Structure 1
Amino acid sequence: MAHIRGVPKEDPSRWEVRYDVRDEYGRRRQRTKTFRREGDAKKFRRKVEHEADLGTLRDPMLGRVTFGALVERWQQSQAWAGLKPSTAARYATVLRVHVLPRWEKVQLSRITRADADAWVVELSRGRRSPATVGKVYGVWRQALNHAVYLGWLPVNPAAGVPMPRVREREQLYLSPEEVWTLAGAVPPRYRAMILTAAFAGLRFGELAGLRRRNVNLLAGRLTVAESLSQVDRRAAEWTTPKNGKARTVDLPAFLREELTRHWERYTEGGTGPDGVVFTGARGALLDRHNFTRRDFRPAVRRALSAEKHRLRFHDLRHTCAAILIELGTHPKLIADTLGHSSIQITMDRYGHLLERPRAEMLARLDARMLEVERRCGAEAAAPAN
């Protein structure tokens, strides 16, 4: 409830409105605001009472909270705790390197839409790519979203600001023959891993986190239930797959044979149910950086033509999608195999690859209709008995 009272001792023409709010810790605080005219004081009181009824009344002192204090509260919140360890580590690095040096001591109430727009321009200067600008700005925007959630800001000043256009990286696809050549160029212990990535569509973290209990070679299927997430160069965490859901992938006979040979030969990761299928030479968990630098990139340069030398491990997953599309696989089955949360993601990412199957479908339809036309024409021309 807000109250108005005159302040005759200080200034007979001043009117004071007192009202209760919650501070950043949820504690009840009394705030005051003074006016020269009684009518203005009454108008402000009505506004305060209306906002209190709607639940939108904010403590004006919250605007003095600095961005640095907001980040501390964000990192102690459930929203932060719900991030995957690798995501939280990446956000923390972005905050430390890019965001806090610019915004740590700035009061939230002083951050404007114009500031946000200007910072995009500032970030875009120098050698930062549009993708990097988007990632840095995105972390800053999420922190300010938390300020809105806490009631420290009425709206997010960083929302809706246009970002520099990210140029889509051209995806690379290997032919099945190129996949086999690459699988033969890596150290033998990684041969089955290359083939599983390219023909079953598993991500690197899903392969590195694949346990024996989740592979059923007799039934010819594996379950992607865990992923090994690289938090930093020193630590890794077991997490759920990317969209948070397990999925089952059917294995063709040739891949079952490859995995069987790998299973029997490489046992450093353990032979029990918790044993890890793909490990380093001494049974250590796979480190993506080391594997890429020491084994994958040298093999790519040895096995593939020069235009494919920029191939990433993740491009093997794209290769899986391309091969399935070429075989005429239904997009829903492709989405299930790759673990996409919706078929729309599959279509958005790989829809352009459907042009060839569509042309082949039209050619088959034309051939079928010509056959029908010839048969129907022959029947029409046949003499009646």
Structure 2
Amino acid sequence: MASLFKPTYSARDPKTGDRIQRKAKKWYGQYIDGDGILRRAPLATDKAAAQALLAELVKRSEQRRAGLSDPFEEHRTRPLTEHLKDFEASLRHGGATEQHTKLVSSRVHKVIQQCGFVFIPDISASRVSAHIAELRRGGLSAQTCNFYLQAAKQFVRWLVRDRRTNDNPLDHLKGTNVKLDRRHDRRALSDAEFSALIKAARNGGTYRGLSGPDRAMLYLVSAGTGLRASELASMTPANFHLGEESSWTVEAAYTKNRETAVRPLHPDLVGPLREWFHGKDSRTRLWPGKWAEHKQAGAMMKRDLTAASITYRNEKKLVADFHSLRHTFITNLHRLGLSPKNIQFLARHSTITLTMDRYTHVDQNDVAAALAGVSLLVPGKPVVEPSIDLQAVLSESGAGSTSCTGACTELAQTPVATRPEASEIGNPALKIGEKTPRHKAKKDKGFDSPCPSVASDVSGGGGIRTHGTAERYTGFRDRFRTRERRGPAAS
């Protein structure tokens, strides 16, 4: 049975110095909690208020024993700052980097503080929306404002998943259209720009602990592999396999998706890397320092761009920073004609949309040249019938140099539009272009000189139909060797 009482305690009488018994000023309640345990709790100095509080405690205990208690009650009375600390811990336990954890939690803390939220029931979608709008008016970009909203929504989703609340009041909020406020769109470097950048870096001085030749190799490997700055900062010679099947590896601790990445290495990088590795410890970082951790890769490359007389932001407002080298890598794969799926694999993107829409840049001159090669059926323009050199086709297919005579010669020299059916070939009474009723072919229909059979096991190399004409694919455009079909690269 629940009851109220005032406990007594021993105190010293200030007048006599004797110890006496005194009653507490506050009423206490005694009750059986939901687990059947006898509890005593301080309530209030006013007896009526104490009785009301005790009745509430008894009610919750009975509901708990009956399975009707509110499982979120405990969390509702905890400050959001305490929940945020638990949220940070969950991010770390989930494999997030310390940098990412601090970034997300700081954004959540700013939203909570600016909106005046103290407890979970205080969280309001309208107040968050108003705060994000205030950030936009303050000059922050649409993308940055979306990051704040995403962090707040991530925090509330975690509260729901961790059974700290049953409602997500921010679930319906949508971010701003970032296409209407692009401030840092990147571009892919041209061949001439990249060659000039490598030359300027190689001849430059030391910056952030990296010498000029080290930076030149950093840019070269980045544009040849698509590796990110943080991934490159973790690389040692042991991460590169320079054997017959060359490849590179990044450990899961340093990749964006926390999965170990292994991809092929371009053969043209093997020689320069092997020479550069000479004398280096296989366990020593190739590009040491905190340049990546402190977000200095962009500033470092900007200095070399300036030395190479390359504009950082072009007339289209597109910038060339360190991450542009990754854009360059992916764009060059597209120019070489790789399938989107293969490009996505080499880029290590989660979606094909990210690969093609964000990282692949189309050159208008390339598109114009491709368009000019398309044949259009313009009214009044003569249509040229395709001619077939069957002997050449048979020779290329590997069927040998056997002459094609008889009906095959007649068929090959006949325009497509007037070509007869196979059953009509060799009929001396039939002129080309005329039709006869269909009937079964007979031995006397001109097939005395049969066509040589084409070998069925001969197929085009490299996935194309013309055998023996495919060039070896190397993965990305060679920027540094002179090619007959392109001429020397700009320096």
Q: Give the share of equivalent positions with the same residue, in percent.
A: 20
Which protein has the larger Cα radius of gyration, Structure 1 or Structure 2? Answer: 2
CA, structure 1 residues 69+113, in 2 after alignment: closer, same or farther (shift >3 Å)?
Answer: same
Could you tell me how far 1:226 is from its partner in structure 2?
2.9
Which of these residues, 135, 151, 154, is aligned with residue 166 of structure 2? 154
Q: Equivalent residue for 2:96? A: 83
SS for the counterpart of 2:362 is helix
Could you tell me how far 1:66 is from its partner in structure 2?
2.4
CA deviations 1:127-155 (Å, max 9, x no partner) are 22222212222222222222222323221
Matched AA of 1:254? D
The question of whether the paired residues in 2 share the 8 Å contact of 1:243 and 1:339 is answered with no
Bigger Cα displacement from structure 2, 357-366 vs 329-338:
357-366
Q: Equivalent residue for 1:58? A: 71
1:176 aligns with 2:185: no
Q: Equivalent residue for 1:303? A: 308
Q: TM-score, normalised by structure 1?
A: 0.70
CA deviations 1:204-234 (Å, max 9, x no partner) are 111111121121122353323237xxxxxxx
Which of these residues, 71, 84, 101, is aligned with residue 84 of structure 2? 71
Within 5 Å, which residues of 2 pair with 1:17-28?
none
Q: Equivalent residue for 1:37? A: none
CA, structure 1 residues 194+78, in 2 after alignment: closer, same or farther (shift >3 Å)?
Answer: closer
Q: Equivalent residue for 2:141? A: 129
Larger RCO: 1 or 2 (CA < 8 Å, sep 6+)? 1
Which of these residues, 310, 319, 323, is aligned with residue 328 of structure 2? 319
Contiguous gaps of at least 5 residues in structure 1: 1-17, 22-29, 35-40, 228-238
CA, structure 1 residues 63+117, in 2 after alignment: closer, same or farther (shift >3 Å)?
Answer: same
Which of these residues, 254, 267, 270, is aligned with residue 268 of structure 2? 254
CA deviations 1:252-296 (Å, max 9, x no partner) are 3332222223222xx5xx513x2222336xxx8765544543x32
Which of these residues, 190, 198, 208, is aligned with residue 215 of structure 2? 190
Matched AA of 1:174? L
CA distance in 2, matches of 1:359, 1:161: 42
CA distance in 1, matches of 2:54, 2:164: 16
1:379 aligns with 2:414: yes
Contiguous gaps of at least 5 residues in structure 2: 1-31, 36-52, 202-211, 377-382, 389-410, 420-430, 433-445, 447-491
CA deviations 1:22-47 (Å, max 9, x no partner) are xxxxxxxx99769xxxxxx9xxx99x
The question of whether the paired residues in 1 share the 8 Å contact of 2:72 and 2:165 is answered with no
1:263 aligns with 2:266: no
Matched AA of 1:240? Y
Could you tell me how far 1:321 is from its partner in structure 2?
0.9
Q: TM-score, normalised by structure 2?
A: 0.56
1:211 aligns with 2:236: yes
The question of whether the paired residues in 2 share the 8 Å contact of 1:68 and 1:104 is answered with no
CA distance in 2, matches of 1:133, 1:312: 22
Superposition CA RMSD, Å: 4.0
The question of whether the paired residues in 2 share the 8 Å contact of 1:331 and 1:347 is answered with yes
CA distance in 2, matches of 1:357, 1:271: 44
Within 5 Å, which residues of 2 pair with 1:274-353?
274-279=283-288, 289-293=295-299, 295-306=300-311, 308=313, 310-350=319-359, 353=362
**Structure with the higher fraction of residues in helix conformation:** 1
Matched AA of 1:115? R
The question of whether the paired residues in 2 share the 8 Å contact of 1:112 and 1:157 is answered with yes
Bigger Cα displacement from structure 2, 80-89 vs 172-181:
80-89
CA distance in 2, matches of 1:248, 1:114: 46
Could you tell me how far 1:59 is from its partner in structure 2?
3.7
CA, structure 1 residues 300+81, in 2 after alignment: closer, same or farther (shift >3 Å)?
Answer: same
SS for the counterpart of 1:374 is coil
SS for the counterpart of 1:324 is helix
CA deviations 1:61-86 (Å, max 9, x no partner) are 53333222221232343666532222
CA, structure 1 residues 50+304, in 2 after alignment: closer, same or farther (shift >3 Å)?
Answer: farther
CA, structure 1 residues 50+116, in 2 after alignment: closer, same or farther (shift >3 Å)?
Answer: farther
The question of whether the paired residues in 2 share the 8 Å contact of 1:243 and 1:340 is answered with no
CA deviations 1:152-178 (Å, max 9, x no partner) are 322111222132222344331112232
Q: Equivalent residue for 1:140? A: 152
SS for the counterpart of 2:194 is helix
CA distance in 2, matches of 1:74, 1:291: 30
Could you tell me how far 1:304 is from its partner in structure 2?
4.3
